[in-house]
Structure 1
Amino acid sequence: MTISRRHAVAGLGAFAASLAGPPPLVRPRSRSPRPPQPPPALPAVPAGVPADRLAGDEDFWGTVARQYRVSADFVNLENGYYGIMPEPVRQAYHRNVDQLNELNSHLLRTSYADRADQVRKRVATVLGVSHEEIALTRGGTEALQNLIGGYNRLRPGDAVMYADLDYHSARYAMNWLRDRRGVSVERMAIPEPVTRRIALDTYARALRDHPKVRLLLLSHMNNRTGLVLPVAEIVTMARDHGVDVIVDAAHSWGQLDFTADDLAADFAVFSLHKWMGAPLGSGFLHIRKERLADIDPAFADETYPGGDIRSRVHSGTMDVASILTVGTALDFHDALGAAVKQARLRFLRDRWVHQVIDLPNLEILTPEDPAMYGAMTAFRITGRTSEADNVAIAKDLMDRHRIFTVRRGGPVRGDCVRVTPALFTSRDQVDLLAVAVRELASRKRR
């Protein structure tokens, strides 16, 4: 075989290099830090203006709306799924994603634990509890599943109970207890129409008629109609019957103005990516310290000692950028204030509802008691109670008026359409909805 001169020279070069030893280590060049970008300014609430009066100030809420990047292709009145991040939060999230991607496991193995604990402390402060009673989760659903599945005071022959308006994933978890704990499952219905008195009487009757019930699932604000129940009174009533309550406050926290004491619950779950506007994949559960032993550690977790509430959650590797952004979301929430947010969201609900409530064939599924609703309210056109009917109504609103809503099932008298404005929703947009609903209700069904 003939070896070319080029290959021979290359071979000699490689041999010489091997005698010289390995090349010297090259230290990575340090990059110049990126110049910090000033975050968008937080909303500034005018001093001395009552929340109820500020609720209708479109100039002020126009400045708030500009803090959100929202599609102009349609009017989004389906904000109950999750909450759009305002710009300060969205930009913080992107910075945290970039930092996580650059530092990788170094961040997770060094500073993350302390930073996550600071998030727990911030959340606990807003809720009015000790941070030792807070465990972060990937949302309200995971928190519900951990509390329901981990509740260990049930014995074969006991019963658990939930209502028709409770969250479907939580109902599934309650049904699972039939096999897991050997209990029976009782279901109750919230009457239509409902008032505070009717709601209390309904729960009192259900607890009286089902003496074997030991665990009750209770929605503060349900995701189907937006009805807000008098939770503290129902929790107290249940306690008198020897019944523990798991309160689902995923939709109400950040939409309504309350703290944990207002719920009077020993076990509760909350979302951070709904009305607090944190990134998707963030929530938490709350267990009063003296009741921690009544919830089993998640999957026999040994990451934390049994006396640490964080042992009641094992999520694997979470999207930690979401968790690291929660503080910025709470900053935005605090800048407005829970009372101001609540007043604005109720104003938007009242604005469209009061323009259509006189229609004889339209049913509004929340009562006219402000303590029993927030932003979210559902409607039904009388006689149109099937899933197909209400999917068609939502489609009509989108096709004819570019208004996005969603059909919901579960209420005792049939399906409905849920309407959920947000902080970036304008008065004109809910006025447009009112016009569209009146047109829908007056149109003869083909």
Structure 2
Amino acid sequence: MSINRRNMMMGPVAFPLAARAAALPKGGAARSDDEAYWASIAAQYDVTSQVIQLENGNWGIMARPVLAAYERAIERVNRENSFYARRTMEQDLLAVRARVASALGVATDEIALTRNATEALRALIEGYTKLRPGDAVLYADLDYDSMQGYVEGLRARRGVEVTRIALPEPATWQGLIDAYAQALEANPRIKLILLTHLSHRTGLVLPVREITALARAKGVDVILDAAHSWGQIDFSFPGLGVDFAGFNLHKWMGAPLGVGVAYVRKTRVRDIDVDPANGGGEADDLQARVHTGTPDYAAQLTVPDAIAFQETIGAGPRAARLKLLRNRWVEPLRQVDALQILTPADSRLSGGITSFRFKGKGSRADNIAIAKQLLDEFGIFSVHRVGVAAGCCVRITPALFTTLDQVDALAVALRTIAARMV
């Protein structure tokens, strides 16, 4: 059998999107209100027409060129099977890691591929080695449920005390910093903080750099949950100053389902345990800290295409467009007395996601009912969220394919529901 090695290496991992970049809309200097441009971006997505889809925080829809690359990768992995996996795929996946690391602005050996942010953060939280019995760890009400569970599990795993705080509502930039400063002051035994960059519950963005700096000054480490921030807001990850973080690539970066990233600063790798399933692993190998079993290799191999697509738009224009869609419905409704908007007007503290509740309607049942009413009566799909200390809420999450007409329809629906409550 004659094997064309060049053809094998030029499969779906050779960044086929780059060759087609000229055919895609360019966002470098795109204005957030350039409707013709954003319509061209929306045209890259196939979205259900059954509803107005404003629940895009679960995971992201792949753009057409990314989906096409994923289909090619599935076909190749399925066709070549272990002949590819045991010979050349390892180098291809290393190239994927390098591409992700470059996009984040970190070194390749500072990241490990996982199946999602939950898996990444579990490895970091449960594997963090610097806790001793009697130490304390801190988390907040807006942190993700699974991460709260892993932190709570440190009581038995590490013999530590666990402290939970409720973040202020309404929030302010300084008020959020003060909340963590006061918690550290109240319990000097705290050695580790879980921070969520952008909350999946309300859309609140934390001043991570400032909180991390005050924690470091007290000898406290931060593990950052960045599942929702990368691709939704415009920021420099190295500028946040964190040593440990977990990301998703299948939410706002638009990769296929089943890809996440664990980050550990190179000098801190030995502060995370090697996963026992990895048989000891190499002392300085971050990938040895995570054991995924068999992942979706095709999904991982498609990540460079997803990053390339997002880079044709640009982080700044993407974040500005999501913010415009959010502001379009949020800001006019701040004047509706019956409605509580759960992210502040301060542009530093929000991205595209924002949640709301109606006054006096803070139960889980209340907010399930509101989300159902939006769907049944107005054709708007959203989701209720629980776990916020001040009460449950309904989350609204636009995407790059969301139109101004769709968020305007949401505003009309909420005004209509509010008027009925008078």
- Separation in 1 of the partners of 2:421 and 2:307? 47
Residues 68-79 of structure 1: pairs in structure 2 closer than 5 A: 68-79=45-56
- Separation in 2 of the partners of 1:89 and 1:221? 25
* 1:44 corresponding residue in structure 2: 25
Residues 19-34 of structure 1: pairs in structure 2 closer than 5 A: none
CA-CA distance at 1:356 after TM superposition: 1.2
- Separation in 2 of the partners of 1:158 and 1:402? 50
* 1:163 corresponding residue in structure 2: 140
* 1:86 corresponding residue in structure 2: 63
- Separation in 1 of the partners of 2:172 and 2:27? 35
Confirm or deny: 8 A CA contact 2:277 2:291 kept in the other structure: no
1:411 to 368, 388, 395: 388
Q: Deviations over 1:7-26 (max 9, x none)?
A: xxxxxxxxxxxxxxxxxxxx
Confirm or deny: 8 A CA contact 1:363 1:379 kept in the other structure: yes
2:299 to 322, 339, 363: 322
Q: 2:196 aligned with 1:215, yes or no?
A: no
The runs of at least 4 consecutive aligned structure 1 residues that moved more than 4 Å come to 36-42
In structure 2, the residue corresponding to 1:44 is in which secondary structure? coil
Give identity over the alignment, percent.
Answer: 50
- Separation in 2 of the partners of 1:238 and 1:111? 43
- Separation in 2 of the partners of 1:386 and 1:273? 30
Confirm or deny: 8 A CA contact 1:126 1:259 kept in the other structure: no
CA-CA distance at 1:43 after TM superposition: 3.3
- Separation in 1 of the partners of 2:25 and 2:286? 36
Q: 2:120 aligned with 1:153, yes or no?
A: no
CA-CA distance at 1:136 after TM superposition: 0.5
Confirm or deny: 8 A CA contact 1:348 1:430 kept in the other structure: yes
TM-score by length of 2: 0.94
- The residue type equivalent to 2:107 in the other structure is S
The RMSD of aligned alpha carbons is: 1.9
1:247 to 209, 224, 227: 224
- Separation in 2 of the partners of 1:106 and 1:319? 16
- Separation in 2 of the partners of 1:308 and 1:425? 41
Q: 2:319 aligned with 1:342, yes or no?
A: yes
Paired residues, number: 411
- The residue type equivalent to 1:349 in the other structure is R
CA-CA distance at 1:377 after TM superposition: 0.2
Residue ranges of structure 2 left out of the alignment (5+ in a row): none
Confirm or deny: 8 A CA contact 1:163 1:190 kept in the other structure: yes
Closer/same/farther in 2, CA of residues 396 and 349 from structure 1, 3 Å limit: same
2:342 to 362, 365, 368: 365
* 1:355 corresponding residue in structure 2: 332
- The residue type equivalent to 1:45 in the other structure is K
- Separation in 2 of the partners of 1:228 and 1:201? 15
CA-CA distance at 1:444 after TM superposition: 2.6
* 1:400 corresponding residue in structure 2: 377
- Separation in 2 of the partners of 1:184 and 1:291? 23
Closer/same/farther in 2, CA of residues 46 and 320 from structure 1, 3 Å limit: closer
- The residue type equivalent to 1:243 in the other structure is V
Confirm or deny: 8 A CA contact 2:27 2:314 kept in the other structure: no
* 1:14 corresponding residue in structure 2: none
CA-CA distance at 1:300 after TM superposition: 5.4
- Separation in 2 of the partners of 1:263 and 1:128? 12
Residue ranges of structure 1 left out of the alignment (5+ in a row): 1-26
Higher-Rg structure is 1
TM-score by length of 1: 0.89
Residues 30-429 of structure 1: pairs in structure 2 closer than 5 A: 43-45=24-26, 49=29, 51=30, 54-299=31-276, 301-302=278-279, 304-429=281-406
- Separation in 2 of the partners of 1:265 and 1:298? 22
- Separation in 2 of the partners of 1:303 and 1:65? 47
